Amino acid sequence: MSATPELVIKDLHVGIEGKEILKGLNLEVKRGEIHALMGPNGSGKSTLANTLMGHPKYEVTSGEILFKGESLLEMEADERSRAGLFMAFQYPVAIPGLSVANFLRTALNARLAPSENDGSGAVPKKRGIAPKEFRALLKEKMALLKMDESFAGRYLNDGFSGGEKKRAEILQMAVLKPEIAIMDETDSGLDIDALRIVSDGVNALAGPGMGVLVITHYQRILNYIKPHKVHVMVDGRIQISGGPELALQLESRGYDWVRNGKEAVAR
């Protein structure tokens, strides 16, 4: 595992239209680690995910977010992606007319492209992956995720089942190879078979080069994706952190005991 955290969130306060949602959140995620962020509806989990990726709707009023030692708050969403952040959405959007393969190649070329302003004053040269090289990469990643190659020719999320949409997100993650991947309620709307398939994909990609933050309401996805650490968010703050056993406590006891300030053994 990475010796120092890639992603550091310090005393983060975030609001929407004047209403404070995150109220002093602290979290660190290293490459090579899988973290689960759990909490009841309305606790601020998706607000955190969208804030990390730079959604303009969310206003950071105080605190900081550091990624590889640099402030994310100074970066646009595309710069955050190029730096190595990725988010799998809870509700991926369908784009009729755009194939999965063309979307992935465009996304990868954007990921590989240099920043518009690297401080040198020079105009950055555009570079991209050659079509033959991309086809080989895509074939490799689809084989890793046990996906039929015909999937790449379909229009992105158009007519996809819930499980297929989530698998397309995992394939995007495989191609882009982020350093920190944020999965915002990826288990939402999945039946048990689709959940297992998506989880197998995440497990195939997770490793020393990538940290994963799994945001979820339920414990069930953690039966398949084993976290190193579990954090419980209530009312805009992480109230308690522990090992995988903490998720099992939540499954049997619910969130009220955390919300009410009851003590629990956590590591």
- The answer to whether residue 118 scores a pLDDT higher than 70 is no
Convert the pLDDT of each residue in 204-213 to its tens digit: 888 898 999 9
| Contact in structure between 47 and 58 (CB atoms under 8 Å) | yes
Q: What is the mean pLDDT of the chain?
A: 88
Looking up tokens 């570079």 gives: 127
Question: ∠ CA(93), CA(82), CA(206), 5° rounding?
Answer: 75
Convert the pLDDT of each residue in 27-83 to its tens digit: 999 999 999 999 988 899 999 999 999 999 999 999 999 999 999 998 999 999 999
Convert the pLDDT of each residue in 236-255 to its tens digit: 999 999 999 998 888 888 88
Q: Which domains does the chain have, with CATH numbers?
A: 7-196+205-259 (3.40.50.300)
Convert the pLDDT of each residue in 122-157 to its tens digit: 545 556 899 999 999 999 999 988 899 999 999 999
- % of the chain residues with pLDDT over 90: 63
Rounded to whole angstroms, what are the CA distances from 53 to 4, 76, 120, 216? Answer: 21, 8, 26, 17
User: Count H helices, E strands: the chain?
Assistant: 8, 12
Question: ∠ CA(202), CA(34), CA(189), 5° rounding?
Answer: 50
Mean pLDDT of 174-178: 94
Q: For residue 189, what pLDDT band results from cuts at 50, 70 and 90?
A: confident
